[in-house]
Every structure is written in C-alpha cells, then in structure tokens.
Chains A and B, each alone.
Chain A
Amino acid sequence: GAGVSQSPSNKVTEKGKDVELRCDPISGHTALYWYRQSLGQGLEFLIYFQGNSAPDKSGLPSDRFSAERTGGSVSTLTIQRTQQEDSAVYLCASSLSFDEQYFGPGTRLTVT
C-alpha cells in the first residue's frame, strides 16, 4: 500500500517568503507528527496531531510556524517570513496511536 508522501521534495525560497509543506499520511493512521532535521543535527519534534484532539504544538520553534490537519488526514506545515535558520529537511510521520511511526521522504527546504 501507499506510504507517507510529502510534497514538494525540494523547496528553495527567498528569505521573508511564506512556504507550505504538505504531508499525506497512511490512510487510517490517527497520529501525525512533523519533525525537522537541520544540518548536522538530530530529529527535532515540531508538532503532533492525534485524532480530533487539540494538537501538541510544544515543539514549534516560533509563532512563524503553524500546522493544520484537515479531516484527520492531510497536513500542511506553514512557515511564514522564512529565515535562513529555517533551512532543514522537514519530515512527516504517521502511525496508529501507539504503533511505530512511518516516515515520509521529507521536504528539503533551503532559504536563500
């Protein structure tokens, strides 16, 4: 079956522009996570959606970052007024509630 997909795979944007990153989770997965990996760093948690509960936004680094999950399926991570330090690989993962996470291929964001 289809895995987690993310789009775009690569995004180059100018400093100050807004970007939207999309994640299509595995059908039926109730949990969805966003992470990022900056150059040379590990996995940084950003936000967690679980069913219809309020999302856990504790990892979002600033108010320029926001995310939505519509209809319990597709999620969009939005970064407003991008900065160079936002350059990273953004990973999305989905899972059944307590099960292993399945990761998408990631979106590589470069802010020039």
Chain B
Amino acid sequence: ILNVEQSPQSLHVQEGDSTNFTCSFPSSNFYALHWYRWETAKSPEALFVMTLNGDEKKKGRISATLNTKEGYSYLYIKGSQPEDSATYLCASNTNAGKSTFGDGTTLTVKP
C-alpha cells in the first residue's frame, strides 16, 4: 500500500443496520491514524486518533480499531441512524508529520 485507501466508496444502509468500512495505509513510518466525519455543507471533524497497534476507540455507537503491522483500520457504526449519514475520512500521519487523507466512504442511512 503506497497511499491511503478507503473502501467501500459509498454505502447505503437501512436505519438500525450495523456497518463497517476499511482504511488501508502504508505501514512503514507510521505514526498515527485519524478518522474524521464530514457532513454535507460542513467541515470535517475529528472522531478518533489511534497510534498503537491493537488500539480500539469508541464514541457512542461508533468505534474503530487499528492494525499497524498490516496497515488497516476499521470503523464500525452500530445501529445506524439517519444522522450518521456523512462521509467518513481516514488520514494517516507518518513520522515526518504530514497527514494524508483517503478519498472517504460516503454513508447514507435510510429511515
């Protein structure tokens, strides 16, 4: 993996469904992995930052895991609600400091 990649590109689920998406990143020179939530007509806001292999973070119904050895992170949303509809971005920091974003996963939750 040379760049930060996210999958799927978009996802449509029904209210109440649980869902997850993936962020893959270069494992060499890794320092930190960030997840952001980007709602339409707003600016991205940070959800989580993770640095250690095996890290798990949780905020309400949203949680994330990190595997630095294989270079991936999962974001999980339990019991999706329409207000969860947004684009979820991940960004990887190398030990040089610069943060690189993936293209995002756009989640649409239908009532």
- Residues of A at the B interface (CB closer than 8 Å) are 31, 33, 35, 42-43, 45, 48, 50, 56, 91, 93, 95, 97-106
Distance between Cα atoms of A33 and B36 in the complex (Å): 15
Given that A100-B34, A103-B44 are known contacts, is A56 also in contact with B98, CB under 8 Å in the complex? yes
Q: What 18 new A-B contacts, CB under 8 Å, besides A31-B98, A101-B34?
A: A31-B97, A35-B101, A43-B101, A43-B103, A48-B98, A50-B97, A91-B44, A93-B44, A95-B99, A98-B31, A98-B97, A99-B49, A100-B34, A100-B49, A101-B36, A101-B46, A103-B44, A104-B43
Binding site secondary structure of chain B: strand
Question: Lowest 10 A-B CB distances belong to which pairs?
Answer: A103-B43, A100-B46, A42-B103, A97-B97, A98-B93, A43-B101, A103-B44, A42-B104, A50-B97, A98-B32
Contact (Cβ within 8 A) B97 A103: no
Fill in one digit per residue for B67-111: 1 if any A CB lies within 8 Å of its CB, else 0: 000000000000000000001010101000111110110000000
Q: Which interface class (under 10, 10 to 19, 20 to 34, 35 or more) fits B? A: 20 to 34
Chain A interface mostly helix, strand, loop or mixed?
strand
User: A76 vs B99: C-alpha distance in the bound complex, in angstroms?
Assistant: 20
**Does any Cβ of A come within 8 Å of B45's Cβ?**
yes
- Kindly count the residue-residue contacts between A and B in the assembled complex, taking CB atoms under 8 Å apart: 49
- Shortest Cβ gap from B89 to chain A (Å): 7
Which of B34, B46, B97, B104 is in CB contact (< 8 Å) with A43? B104
CB distance from B15 to the nearest CB of A (A): 25
Contacts of B49 in A (CB 8 A): 99-100
